[in-house]
Amino acid sequence: MGLFDFLKSDKKKAHEATEKAREQVQQQASAGPATSQAADAASATRAAAERMAAAAPPRPAPATPTPGSAAHKAVPAPPRPAPMPKPGTAAPAAPGAAHTPTPGSAAHKAVPAAPKPAPKPAPAAKKRTYTVRPGDSLSAIARRELGNEARWRELYAMNKGVVGSNPDLIRPGMVLTLPH
């Protein structure tokens, strides 16, 4: 039985049950007195609805199309939204990812802490310095020592404490740190 045949038969059963209920209401209405006709009709309708609900088979969940069926190809599946983590909690790990133990978990107590790698000694940074001579300017020092006259701003930024607020005013004997 195809999907459409199933829907047609389900619709046909519902129609038949409605017709039966109408016939019963009409029979009860013609048999009883006219004054209590409204009350009898309401109770008959309720009774018919209850009988229909009891007689009708439970509605199956909508059939999920299989990858090979035509319905699957015709209707794209809606994307499922990812569940939002609660504030203050860590996001769920990907399936198959290792669990990181927390201080309160039993796993944390059973597994010894991993040794921390020893810090690598920092390589000795060679500071290049330059002692200002008479007639020097920051742009001349940058051209001679750094190879680019435009780097005088970088030279000034590194030595602002030595030079002061005026980059044009450097004195012979000042020791400037050169950038790399």
Q: What is the pLDDT of residue 92?
A: 56
Q: What is the pLDDT of residue 160?
A: 94
Q: Which helix (H) or strand (E) holds 55?
A: helix 37-55
Beta pairing, strands 128-131 & 175-178: antiparallel
- Residue tagged 């309720």 (tokens): 46
84-92, long-range: CB within 8 Å, 24+ apart, which pairs? none
Which distant-in-sequence residues (6+ apart) come within 8 Å of 178 by Cβ? 128, 129, 130, 145, 146, 155, 158
For 124-140, what is each residue's pLDDT tens digit? Answer: 567 889 999 999 999 99
CB 158 within 8 A of CB 179: yes
Q: DSSP E strands: which ranges in the chain?
A: 128-131, 175-178
Q: What global pTM score does this model have?
A: 0.33
The lowest-confidence range among 91-100, 111-120, 154-163 is 91-100
Per DSSP, 149 falls in state G
Share of the chain above pLDDT 90, in %: 28
For 29-54, what is each residue's pLDDT tens digit? Answer: 676 555 566 777 788 888 888 888 77
For 68-97, what is each residue's pLDDT tens digit? Answer: 666 556 666 677 777 776 766 655 555 555
